[in-house]
Amino acid sequence: MPIHKFPDAPAKPEDYYLAPEKLISGNPKQSLWMHYTDASKQFFAGVWQSEVGKWKIAYTEEEYCKILEGKSVLTDASGVAVSVTEGDSFVIPRGFVGTWEVLTPTRKEFVIYEKAASKE
C-alpha cells in the first residue's frame, strides 16, 4: 500500500446544506474535501468548512479535528461548552450529543473512524 499524501490544492469540494431538522440557527453552506477513504469505508480523512450557523450533532464515529481557521463552539447535552479556534486539536468521541456552532467561518482537517455496525 502506498502512502497517501493530501494534495496542496484540493479538487472542487462537495458543497451541501444540513437537513432542516438539525438546524438551530442559520443555514450554513458546508464544504467537504474528502482526501482519503479506506477500502472498508470506516476510516476517512479530509478537510471540512462551514459558514456561520448552529446545528444539532450526534456522533456515531470517533473524530480527530484540527482547526485551520475560524472559531466554533461545541456544547454537549448537559450544556458544557468548548470553544475551538485556529490551531486547536481535539477529539470528539463516539456517543457525543450536543450542538456545533460556527461563530466565524471555520475550516478543519479531520480524521474519522466509524466502527462497523455489528452483525447480530
Tens-digit pLDDT profile for residues 69-89: 999 999 999 999 999 999 999
- DSSP line for 18-69: --GGGEEE---EEEEEEEEE-TTS-EEEEEEEE-SEEEEEE-SSEEEEEEEE
User: What's the rounded Cα separation, in Å, for the pair 39 and 34?
Assistant: 14
Compute the average pLDDT of residues 79-106.
98
User: What's the rounded Cα separation, in Å, for the pair 117 and 52?
Assistant: 33
Torsion, CA 32, CA 33, CA 38, CA 42, rounded to 10: -20
Please give the domain boundaries of the chain with CATH numbers for all domains: 21-113 (2.60.120.10)
Burial state string for 41-55 with b = 16 or more CB within 10 A and e = fewer than 16: eeebbbbbbbbbbbb
Examine the pLDDT at 4 and tell me if it is beyond 80: no
Q: Which residues sit opposite 81 in a β-bridge?
A: 75
For 1-120, where are the alpha helices, taking DSSP H only? none
Confidence of residue 120 (pLDDT cuts 50, 70, 90): low
Instruction: State the pLDDT at residue 10.
Output: 61
The SS3 call for residue 94 is: coil
Average pLDDT along the chain:
93
The answer to whether the CB of 104 falls within 8 A of the CB of 52 is: yes
